[in-house]
Amino acid sequence: MSKRKVSVWTDNRFWQRSAAWVTGVAAVLLIWLTFDTMGQIRMGNQKDIDAHIDKRVPSPTVINYKIGYKMNAKRGLEVPTIGGSDANGNSLFTVKQKFFGRDNYTQKEADALVNLGKLGEQSKNCMDCHTLLGNGGYYAPDLTKAWLDPAWGKNGPMQAITGTHSRAEAMATFLQHPGRYPMHARRMPNLHITAREAKGLVAFLKQMATIDTNGFPRGFGKIKEANYAETK
């Protein structure tokens, strides 16, 4: 072996160095991209909303606003809208909506609610049944846009079933006693969620629905005929 002239292509040192270089370059690129992404997904605050700036992860104070999910003419995909939207699917940041009877949550109050909701989401392990942003278990519906699900709206069944008059209250009531409101044979279990925790969870779900997910899930809730086909 050693007497034969060794080509660089069969030289272990060469491949070892190549492996180190390739890994190094890929890692440096990833770290660089990570810095950029971190800047773009940092959670916004009320000042952004006041200044009409779109954030990929908006301020928790979005709970004071009416939110939607519209085809955006410029982006060519569906984007969450905050406080109403124009014909091109851009947010207006003006139309408010009451959340448990109020639409004036301060930054601090809203931050605390979303934080409580996130802690609740982890403590109750929602993600081993549901997917959030598409990741998790496949035993129950994706919750990315659950806040916007037509089932919770005026024409959906949930407000009537739970005896409430808003999305927020219907969701909170359901979450505290899911076993009482079975919509399917596959029920959600009782996770000992208190009224306070439920409010936090709903705030968390509402804020999550405003995250710009590049159009996932596509066409969410757009097919009106399909929505209650199976509950009839």
Q: Which two tokens stand for residue 152?
A: 């919770």
Which of ligand HEC, other proteins, ligand HEM, none does residue 153 bind to, with CB < 5 to 8 Å depending on kind?
Answer: none
Among 78, 121, 169, 212, binds ligand HEC (CB under 6 A): 121
Between 37 and 155, name the residue whose CB sits nearer to ligand HEC.
Answer: 155
Q: Rule CB under 6 A: say whether 186 interacts with ligand HEM.
A: no
Residues 6+ apart with CB under 8 A from 169: 100, 159, 162
Residue from 21, 32, 139, 216 in contact with ligand HEM (CB under 6 A): 139
Binding site partner of 1, from ligand HEM, other proteins, ligand HEC, none, Cβ cut-off 5-8 A by kind: other proteins
E strands, 64-216, in order: 67-72, 77-82, 131-132, 135-136
Instruction: Measure the CA–CA gap between 111 and 204, rounded to whole angstroms.
Output: 10
Site string for ligand HEC, 87-106 (x = CB under 6 A): --------------------
What would the two tokens of residue 91 be?
């947010």
Contacts of residue 122, Cβ cutoff 8 Å, sequence gap at least 6? none
Q: Identity (one letter) of the amino acid at 158? A: M
99 binds, among ligand HEC, other proteins, ligand HEM, none (CB under 5 to 8 A by kind): none
Please list, in sequence order, all residues whose beta carbon lies within 8 angstroms of the beta carbon of residue 197, skipping any fewer than 6 positions away. 116, 120
Q: Which is nearer to ligand HEC, 93 or 152 (CB)?
A: 152
Cis check: omega of the bond before 150, within 30 degrees of 0: no
Residues 6+ apart with CB under 8 A from 173: 162, 163, 164, 181, 198
With a CB cutoff of 8 Å and minimum separation 6, the contacts of 184 are none
Is residue 169 involved in binding ligand HEC (CB under 6 A)? no
Residue whose CB is less far from ligand HEM, 135 or 155: 135
Q: Which of 136, 141, 153, 221 binds ligand HEC (CB under 6 A)?
A: 141
- Which 173-212 residues touch ligand HEC, going by CB under 6 A? 175, 182-184, 186-189, 191, 201
Comparing CB distances to ligand HEM, the nearer of 137 and 182 is 137
135 lies in the site for ligand HEM, by CB under 6 A: yes
Considering just the CA atoms, what is the radius of gyration of the chain in Å?
23
> Which residues make up the interface to ligand HEM (CB under 6 A)?
134-135, 137-139
Q: Which residues bind ligand HEC (CB under 6 A)?
A: 120-121, 124-126, 129-130, 139-141, 143, 146, 149, 171, 175, 182-184, 186-189, 191, 201
